Structure 1
Amino acid sequence: MLYSPIQFRNVELKNRWVMSPMCMYSCENGLANDFHYVHYGSRAQGGTGLIIVEATGVEPRGRITNHCMGIWNDEQAEKLQKIVEFVHQNSESKIGIQIAHAGRKGSTWENKQISIEEGWETVAPSPIPYHPTERIPHVLTAEEIKEIVQNFKDAAKRAVGAGFDVIEIHGAHGYLIHQFLSPLSNIRTDEYGGSFENRIRFLLEIVDEVNKELDENVALFVRISGTEYAENGWDVEDSVRLTKILKEHSVDLVDVSSGGNIHGAKIEVFEGYQVPFSSQVKNDADAKTGAVGLITKVKQAEEILQKGEADLIFVAREILRNPYIAVQGSFEMKEENFFPHQYLRAKISS
């Protein structure tokens, strides 16, 4: 199953391996460079079914750090297009991009908030900082929220123009969309706060506007935190409820991670620790999901799929250690997978 194809709209992935989006903190002015060209290109040579480019800011304030990727202008999109073209021309991999806004968790370096002079004023749904020692974020007005929705739409348009096969909206890990979703970080009293329906409004508006820029040749994923590990906070039942609605709004897959919104939340971390969230969302919402969270072994990944706990396997740290996990796993499983023709002398026959 790990080496079976799967289709989202007209986008067919050759296998179920996905390189999870991971920040590289290596940009200047949001521009991809030679490091990113090699970094993403190497995973394509390793036979990964889908590569997702790191969290990419839809505006300068949307970055986590000064060195995060951006797609708020055409120059940034052109740099990314070079990576997309290499992947398409030299592999069977598809490539996606995660478009994001950090909200109150922006303007940081090495997990600490930097000064406004070095960084910027952060924004959020409510005047609640991520950490009590941080500056109180600017509370977005309804008009400013609409501007950010438009920024997501514009980012999607640039991503489509650059040739990406998949757009993933980052609604997890305590970044801006998640800040709206959670009643612990969103205490608004207008149409964007209070009820579940109001708290998910920002995300749904982004989804609908982004979808206007997509056709059947570009799929749409949303990453969420299945739970935020906090009493009275966002939980897996909320995630199931949201996913049912996202399906109605033409979201093709929900990428289920967890945590990130509540500082100091107690999280028990072990191999595959987030897979149960993917499983519950998939089965209770009858939706396609991606599993992530210390998935490190080929047999572990295959078992997740066989048990019906996910449709895609998102790999993060392990694919940093081993860009060729997909092709090496095909040797282990005795399955066919993309192998660069330049390297054929090294191929192990199945």
Structure 2
Amino acid sequence: MARLEAPVGIGDRTLQNRLYRAPLLECAGNGPEAVDALIEDLEPAAASGAGLLCQGATIVRGEGGCAAPGMTRVHDPEFVEQLARLTERVHDHGAKIAIQLEHGGLRSMEVWHAGYRQSHSGLEQLAVSRPPWQLRALDRLGLVSFDPHVLDTAEVYGLAADFGKAAARAVDAGYDAIHLAGANMGVVQQFLSPFYNRRDDEFGGSRRERVRFLELVHDEIRARAGDVPLLTKVPAETAAPRLVQRHLDLDDGVWIAEHLADYGYDAVAPVRANVTWDMSIVRGEYPGRAWEREEFADGYADAFGSRYRARAVAALNRLQARRFEFEPAWNESFCRRVRRRVDVPVMLEGGVRERGQMDRLLGATGEEPACDLVGMARPFYAEPRLPARLLDAEAHSASSPRSQAHEDAEEQYSSSPRSQAHEDAETRAVCESCNNCTVPQVTGAPGVCRTPSVLRRRGELEKQGAYERDADD
């Protein structure tokens, strides 16, 4: 039971506090300015006091596997060596940095991005198994295009080795931890999920066999990168629609987390998700402003095949927003169940927006802790130096904003008997969970806040000195 400022250990590393920047898409790519772009995105969180920064998903291979435009690849030793400039800048502020390793599998751009498919027509799609019938139906409707190569057993070992090689390069560049993208429908989740995994070799079958890929990745990283702290997201596909009978339920997710902790993983981040990418992992409002901006129209048409199809995707996005409304700390119950069963730190993210809520989740208010670290993602797009407002919150006098979205979320949350700390909180993120930052990323646009009311409020806080920290903080 600890407040947000309390140190916490992960493996053999000690973090200065329990606040972390959860993985985001930095859109830095691999060009000559990539390292500078990553420093610009990540250093503010370190300078303002975050204990841990999780660099967003980076791809372990040189071709394919990117789930979105602008993702950084870490297959090239010369490029990864340059990332030492980033890790040094983070360390200068006393923070630690993890790199998240990923391959998109059937969520990669070569499957869903029309323009990318056309310009990379020879690029091979990688799959854990033949796509299930629900996804093949989407193919027949023209929403995606499947022509996958199903990995054979030897190729699975090769993919795991690529994770290990990437981890070794990252450790040499100064990264403090390796974070696997075990959810968000990437290839790791595809191995874990019975929806995707219909294999008949050692990597398919029961959940005991399906978790084997994460065991193999662990072994490769340990063999190549040593005892670097190893973290992973753990999915539970609770948002799967009724027509998906085979998926990971909460019991499966708890079992996977417990097994991985016993196997040697140093921390787990349990997350509720779906079998396909949707708003279950970015709960909030329909991003109408982003869909309506003409500057992105051509990019949407390129991504989805035409302006007509882009409008169809926008309509689907509107329906999803109604189903997946914002829910404060929506992974709380999952994390609490996992924490009762593991002896490694549990990381909680998703719907965390204010300081009192964080202390409650950590158990500082006297109730059972749900986690050992608390993370946020989209709020960092709105406030890159957000930790300065949340850490040592009682020392700050700047008032907290309350948009209508915040008020609606608080009204929903106040129905819980655990809401007192939430109501009494002195600080909360200005992020309104409107998702106007995320949707344009399908066009290659950077992840930044585009909501005028949020930007105005951030400007007011900047004038008040809310993001300034003393050198001794």
Normalised by the length of structure 1, the TM-score is: 0.89
* Match in the other structure for 1:338: none
1:98 lines up with 2:100 in the alignment = yes
What pairs with 1:210-225 in structure 2 (closer than 5 Å)? Answer: 210-216=221-227, 218-225=228-235
Corresponding residue SS for 1:224? strand
**1:74 and 2:77 correspond:** yes
Give the AA of the match of 1:332.
A
Q: Does 1:332 align with 2:393?
A: yes
Offset of 1:79 from its aligned partner?
A: 2.8
Name the aligned partner's letter for residue 24 of structure 1: E
Matches within 5 A, 1:266-285: 267=324, 269-285=326-342
In the other structure, the counterpart of 2:86 is 83
Q: Deviations over 1:240-261 (max 9, x none)?
A: 1112221222111101222142
Q: Secondary structure at the match of 2:390?
A: helix
2:26–2:41: 8 Å Cα contact kept in structure 1? Answer: no
* Corresponding residue of 1:296: 353
1:232 aligned counterpart, secondary structure: coil
Say which of 200, 203, 210 aligns to 2:214.
203
- The 3 A distance-change label for structure 1 pair 326 and 140 is same
- Please tell me whether the aligned partners of residues 233 and 269 of structure 2 are also in contact (alpha carbons under 8 angstroms): yes
The yes-or-no answer on 1:153 pairing with 2:184 is no
Q: Does 1:312 align with 2:315?
A: no
**Deviation (angstroms), 1:121:** 2.3
* Secondary structure at the counterpart of residue 69 of structure 1: coil
| 8 Å CA contact retained: 2:111, 2:117 | no
SS in 2 for 1:244: helix
Alignment partner of 1:246 out of 234, 242, 260:
260
Residue of 28, 41, 44 corresponding to 1:39: 41
The count of corresponding residues between Structure 1 and Structure 2 is 341
Q: Are 2:133 and 1:122 aligned?
A: no
Amino acid aligned to 1:243: A
Shift of the 2–82 alpha-carbon distance from structure 1 to 2, 3 Å rule, reads same
Give the 3-state SS of the residue equivalent to 1:156 in structure 2.
helix
Contact 1:29 1:70 in 2 (8 A): no
Contact 1:243–1:287 under 8 Å retained in 2: no
For residue 328 of structure 1, give the secondary structure of its aligned residue in structure 2: helix
Q: Which amino acid aligns with 2:224?
A: E
Question: How far apart in 2 are the matches of 1:145 and 1:205?
Answer: 9
How far apart in 1 are the matches of 2:198 and 2:12?
40
Q: Which one is further off, 266-275 or 10-19?
A: 266-275
Question: Structure 1, residues 197-221: CA drift from partner, whole Å, max 9, x if none?
Answer: 21111111001211223445x3111
Aligned with residue 14 of structure 2, among 12, 15, 34? 12
* SS of residue in 1 equivalent to 2:391: helix
> Residue 227 in 1 paired to residue 241 in 2?
no
Which shows bigger deviation, 102-111 or 227-236? 102-111
**SS of alignment partner, residue 181 of structure 2:** strand
**What's the counterpart of residue 340 of structure 1?**
none
Alpha-carbon spacing, 1:263–1:14, altered in 2? closer, same or farther (3 Å):
closer
Q: Once the two structures are superposed, what CA deviation does each residue of 1:132-151 show, in whole Å capped at 9, x if it has no partner?
A: 33213211111111110110
Task: Answer whether contact 1:105 1:122 (CA < 8 A) is retained.
Answer: no
| 2:56 alignment partner, SS class | strand
Residue type of the partner of 2:251?
E
Call closer, same or farther: CA 1:3–1:56 in 2, change over 3 Å: same
2:17 equivalent to 1:3: no
Contact 2:25 2:71 in 1 (8 A): yes
Correspondence 1:323 to 2:384:
yes
**1:118: Cα distance to partner?**
3.0
Per-residue deviation, 1:116: 5.3
CA deviation map 1:39-67 (0-9, x unaligned): 11111111100001110101032322352
Cα distance change on mapping 1:21 and 1:263 into 2, 3 Å: closer
- Please, which moves more after superposition, 79-88 or 152-161? 79-88
- Aligned-pair CA distance for 1:33: 3.1
Given residue 20 of structure 1, which amino acid in structure 2 is its aligned partner? Answer: A
Provide the C-alpha distance between the structure 2 equivalents of 1:110 and 1:34, rounded to a whole number of angstroms.
Answer: 29
| Distance 1:113-1:285 versus aligned 2 partners, 3 A rule | farther
- Larger mean CA deviation between 178-187 and 29-38 belongs to 29-38
- How far apart, CA to CA, are the structure 2 residues paired with 1:333 and 1:110? 47
Matched residues in 2 for 1:181 and 1:316: separation?
24
- CA distance, structure 1, for counterparts of residue 381 and residue 345 of structure 2: 25
Unaligned runs of 5+ in 1: 336-342
How far apart are the structure 2 equivalents of 1:108 and 1:283?
40
Gapped runs of 5+ residues in structure 2?
281-322, 397-464
In structure 2, the CA distance between the partners of 1:194 and 1:33, relative to structure 1 (3 Å rule), is same
How far, CA to CA, are the matches of 1:96 and 1:24 in structure 2? Answer: 14
Question: Which residue does 1:51 correspond to in 2?
Answer: 53
